[in-house]
Structure 1
Amino acid sequence: MGSQKRIAKELAELVDSPPEGIKVELANEADLYDWKVYLNGPESSPFHNGTFLVKLKFPNEYPFKPPAVNFATKIYHPNVTNDDKGSMCLGMLRPDEWKPSSRVVAVLQFARQLLAEPMPDDAVEGRIAEQYKNDRARYEEVARDWTRRYANEKA
């Protein structure tokens, strides 16, 4: 029951004073463990003007186990899988690096920061990471194109 209380508290904080570019709501009013998060692409990134739907699922063992964070909106990014799962490679979400004191707001802010500053050395999409490192202009062009095509749902 402790996890429910903690999740409810974090949800209330995020709804009452959302961080810049982040909007959170329950995916289903009856399920506190399933969130919909809308991330606005940061101004300094090729994702600017895009709104990305990110799904956050909490395990029953939260905060002792990390939430699962997946992009539901297709995104061209070295740290997000280019499949229908949209898995995000975030060090702080790895079970061995997760700390019970970690807060969802930090996870979401880090995820949004990753849009502005990808980490190609920690990539799940090697080809996109190579392009990011070696042909930044082309990477940004494709990322902007995908953002226009897929990330125009308004929160």
Structure 2
Amino acid sequence: MASSSSAQLRLMSDLKSIINEPPEGCSASPLSDENLFVWSATIFGPDETPWEGGVFSLRMTFGQNYPEKPPRVRFTSEMFHPNIYRDGTLCMDIIQDAWSPCHNVSTILTSVQQILRQLNSTSKISRLITREYVAVPVNPLIRNIRSSVSFLSTFWKQLWCVIGRVSFCFPVYNISSCKYSVRA
């Protein structure tokens, strides 16, 4: 029981810290007021990476023995990265072998952002993803096209939902073949 109350105190301290001094490009809070042990987090894709402009959601689940043991951290957004399993679980040293009670929610989220900036080459989950990630540099023009087309696609999808069936065409960037296609 003492470990549970110490975990709750620590989580309340982490919440206060992330509210007062949030790490750049991150936010987190408990999913509900009733359960301090399950948090939802958001990370903005770091600049100059393939994830630039993206908004990614994570779930952090803390045990009764936090901060002595690390939380489980998992992306709820679909991710394509060499250090992230298909189910969204991260392969990250600070939530595994290198865990220390001095880490908190802010340091975890900052570490997740760092993995998006630079892959952890010592712990490759998927060799195929690693090969693609390393072999294909992200051209800034292509990245800008991706984000612009993504924005336009989202806009048209929302417009479609609002006004019903409308006949229109808009460009869709096909990343795998690096060509434009037009969909009606």
1:37 aligned partner: 41
Task: Say which structure, 1 or 2, has more relative contact order (CA 8 Å, 6+ apart).
Answer: 1
1:114 Cα shift?
Answer: 1.1
1:74 aligned partner: 78
2:98 aligned partner: 97
Could you tell me the percent identity over the aligned residues? 25
| Larger Rg, first or second structure (1 or 2) | 2
TM-score, L = length of structure 1: 0.82
In 1: Cα distance, 2:29 partner to 2:98 partner: 26
AA matched with 1:132: Y
1:136 Cα shift?
Answer: 3.3
Q: Does 1:19 align with 2:23?
A: yes
Question: CA contact under 8 A between 1:54 and 1:70: conserved in structure 2?
Answer: yes
SS of the residue aligned with 1:54? strand
SS of the residue aligned with 1:28? coil
In 2: Cα distance, 1:69 partner to 1:60 partner: 15
In 1: Cα distance, 2:8 partner to 2:35 partner: 10
1:111 aligned partner: 112
Q: Does 1:51 align with 2:52?
A: no
Question: CA contact under 8 A between 2:50 and 2:138: conserved in structure 1?
Answer: no
TM-score, L = length of structure 2: 0.70
1:86 aligned partner: 88
SS of the residue aligned with 1:8? helix
In 1: Cα distance, 2:98 partner to 2:47 partner: 30
CA RMSD for the aligned pairs? 2.4
1:111 Cα shift?
Answer: 0.3
In 2: Cα distance, 1:128 partner to 1:120 partner: 12
Task: Note the alpha carbon deviations across 1:78-127, whole angstroms, 9 max, x for none.
Answer: 11112xx2000101111x42112222211110101111111233121221
Question: CA contact under 8 A between 2:59 and 2:73: conserved in structure 1?
Answer: yes
Gaps of 5+ in 1: none
